[in-house]
A and B are shown apart, each in its own frame.
Chain A
Amino acid sequence: MSNVIQIERLNKTYDSGFTALRDVNLSIRKGEIFALLGPNGAGKTTLISIVCGIVNASSGTVLADGHDIRRDYRAARSRIGLVPQELSTDAFETVQATVTFSRGLFGKPANPAYVERVLRDLSLWDKRKDKIMALSGGMKRRVMIAKALAHEPDILFLDEPTAGVDVELRRDMWNLVRGLRERGVTIILTTHYIEEAEEMADRVGVINHGEIVLVERTRELMDKLGRKELRLQLAEPLATLPEALSDLPLSLEAEGQELVYRFDARHDQGDVAGLLRRLDEQGIAFRDLRTRESSLEEIFVDLVHNGRKGD
């Protein structure tokens, strides 16, 4: 598969002396949805801003669709659309005017039919003649997405697209993202809502303190680093764990009503059958059982706080 974004040895030190990115190497594949995860201040926005031309890199190279973002900035930027993290719009312009402006700014001839389609896709068509300042926050974010799509980009950056966004918009946004992907658009997003990365992204990159900690297919990451958990609802509550089971990773929860078996899916597959057999031997009966995999969120917190690296 070809790389649509190729970042090599990228460094950024701001004028303040703060180093926001250290030796970042990252490749984004054509047509994928890539989620960049990291705590606040990790350098996500800085990274996106450099690729989009808003911030100058201190060193390193970035190719967008094979074009160097500095030397060949026209070709590179015309392929990229950006929805920035901050909500910033021209208060006095109408929705339609601002989207038309964006298209022109990116060097495309006017195309009212295309602009109409974008506005309709984002449920903005009815509001096209409204001044932006009269819109709600959610609507303004839709306007910013429409602006980013106005020039038909092949690569779309969404910087924290769902932060502070209502349920309806979030759902619409993901439908839009899926639709764009079907048309071959590559999508790079940052998010704090990790379930979304889990659900939407083909691959996940984790960044912390300006360094890429890991890049992995979402599924594989969860298989590799995920924890599994088996919860048994006991027929009779237990005060303490029987001595005979002390060699197993078991704990009692919910005031002795639940027995929880946790194992690391990375190292062992867990011997559930063995566990159940031994419970039976001890005469411990249960009414119900549930299994659960740890979410990307837990994996992420683990990675960031323990500095654990994937292999």
Chain B
Amino acid sequence: MNLHGVKAIYRFEMARTWRTLLQSIASPVISTSLYFVVFGSAIGSRMVEIDGISYGAFIIPGLVMLMLLNESISNASFGIYMPKFTGTIYEVLSAPISPLEIVLGYVGAAASKSIILGLLILATSRLFVDYQIAHPFAMVGFLALTAVTFSLFGFIIGVWADGFEKLQIIPMMIVTPLTFLGGTFYSVSMLPPFWETVTLFNPVVYLVSGFRWSFYGVADVHLGVSLGMTVLFMLVCAGLIGWIFKTGYRLRD
């Protein structure tokens, strides 16, 4: 095991985060805070409670997930795309380091950053909205699982992308719509039955539902299903990455 190598990649990626502190930490925290101000305080104060939870508190887990997904994907995809773009990837490809170790370095750093951000946003939101966390360990568990899963997904996008446009198209065209339609701002059970069924094909529903359960003990779908779907998606991503390294797809000619 080349632990020095994993550490080198991890440190390099984290250094990039600290270097761009404003963009990588401050900007997501500020934009999420705006959601709290608008939806939590301003609009939320006129909304009825959902499942006995004030609207402001209800949307917190969803908003954190929204940010977590976007940040995990963009961090991990950027992390592997940039060396491909600048050509510095040659060094990683020529190093005595296994695919698993490369992924540990890149995905580990992207996920770490997302988790830190998630916790920062939770702390910030406390300034605007009062909320409880019923199952703190489960909450951190979901946070970490989602961060890792979507960082893996981002890694795949970063390998696949051969231009900046492709790098952003999936997060913009697929992930953002899915998160908005994934029960961030409402409970799935509030939808008409037909749309409720359609929604169940949206993987984000399971993430948000499980995460919200760890806060308030209520969920749109069964907890086990939430967990199962997340783990399944993670395994699919891990499998795809295995295939990428095996075939050299877009990494080695």
Whether A88 touches B253, Cβ cut-off 8 Å, given contacts A107-B5, A108-B4, is: no
A48 — nearest CB in chain B belongs to which residue?
A: B94
A203: interface (CB < 8 Å): no
Which A residues touch B93, using CB under 8 A?
52-54
A and B contact pairs by CB, cutoff 8 A, 27 listed = A52-B93, A53-B93, A54-B93, A54-B94, A55-B252, A56-B248, A56-B253, A73-B96, A75-B96, A77-B94, A77-B95, A78-B96, A82-B90, A82-B94, A84-B90, A89-B88, A90-B88, A93-B15, A101-B11, A103-B4, A104-B7, A104-B11, A105-B91, A106-B5, A106-B95, A106-B96, A107-B97
B163: interface (CB < 8 Å): no
A34 to chain B, nearest CB (A): 19
CA distance A92 to B82 in the complex (A): 12
Are A74 and B4 within 8 A (Cβ)?
Answer: no
Are B253 and A105 within 8 A (Cβ)?
Answer: no
Q: Report the interface size class on chain A.
A: 35 or more
Q: Which residues of B contact A (CB under 8 A)?
A: 2, 4-5, 7-9, 11-12, 15-16, 19, 86-88, 90-98, 248, 252-253
Which A residues touch B4, using CB under 8 A?
103-109
A86: interface (CB < 8 Å): yes
Return the contact of B91 from the options A14, A56, A73, A147 (Cβ within 8 A): A147
Q: Total contacts A to B, CB within 8 angstroms?
A: 83
A228 to chain B, nearest CB (A): 43
CA distance A76 to B97 in the complex (A): 11
Which B residues touch A279, using CB under 8 A?
none
Which B residues touch A75, using CB under 8 A?
96
Whether A77 touches B253, Cβ cut-off 8 Å, given contacts A104-B8, A105-B91, is: no
A15 — nearest CB in chain B belongs to which residue?
A: B253
Give residues of chain A (66-89) contacting chain B, Cβ–Cβ below 8 Å: 73-78, 80, 82, 84, 86, 88-89
A97: interface (CB < 8 Å): yes
Q: Which residues of A contact B (CB under 8 A)?
A: 14-15, 49, 52-56, 73-78, 80, 82, 84, 86, 88-93, 97, 100-109, 147
Return the contact of A101 from the options B8, B98, B253 (Cβ within 8 A): B8
CA distance A103 to B12 in the complex (A): 13
A148 — nearest CB in chain B belongs to which residue?
A: B91
Whether A97 touches B94, Cβ cut-off 8 Å, given contacts A56-B253, A90-B88, A107-B2, is: no
CA distance A97 to B15 in the complex (A): 10
Are B96 and A74 within 8 A (Cβ)?
Answer: yes
Which B residues touch A102, using CB under 8 A?
8, 91
B92 — nearest CB in chain A belongs to which residue?
A: A105
Whether A74 touches B248, Cβ cut-off 8 Å, given contacts A54-B93, A92-B19, A105-B92, is: no
B249 to chain A, nearest CB (A): 10
Which A residues touch B248, using CB under 8 A?
56
CA distance A280 to B4 in the complex (A): 76
Are B2 and A74 within 8 A (Cβ)?
Answer: yes
CA distance A46 to B92 in the complex (A): 17
Which A residues touch B94, using CB under 8 A?
52-54, 77, 80, 82
B95 — nearest CB in chain A belongs to which residue?
A: A105
A153 to chain B, nearest CB (A): 10
B9 — nearest CB in chain A belongs to which residue?
A: A105
Are A88 and B86 within 8 A (Cβ)?
Answer: yes
Which B residues touch A56, using CB under 8 A?
248, 252-253
Which A residues touch B91, using CB under 8 A?
102, 105, 147
CA distance A97 to B4 in the complex (A): 14
CA distance A217 to B12 in the complex (A): 44
CA distance A52 to B91 in the complex (A): 10
Beyond the given A14-B253, A92-B19, please list 17 additional residue pairs across the A-B interface where CB-CB is below 8 A.
A49-B253, A52-B94, A56-B252, A74-B2, A74-B96, A77-B94, A78-B96, A86-B87, A100-B8, A104-B4, A104-B5, A104-B7, A104-B8, A105-B5, A105-B95, A107-B95, A109-B4
A109 to chain B, nearest CB (A): 6
CA distance A100 to B5 in the complex (A): 11
A73 — nearest CB in chain B belongs to which residue?
A: B96
Which A residues touch B16, using CB under 8 A?
92
Are A105 and B87 within 8 A (Cβ)?
Answer: no
A13 to chain B, nearest CB (A): 10
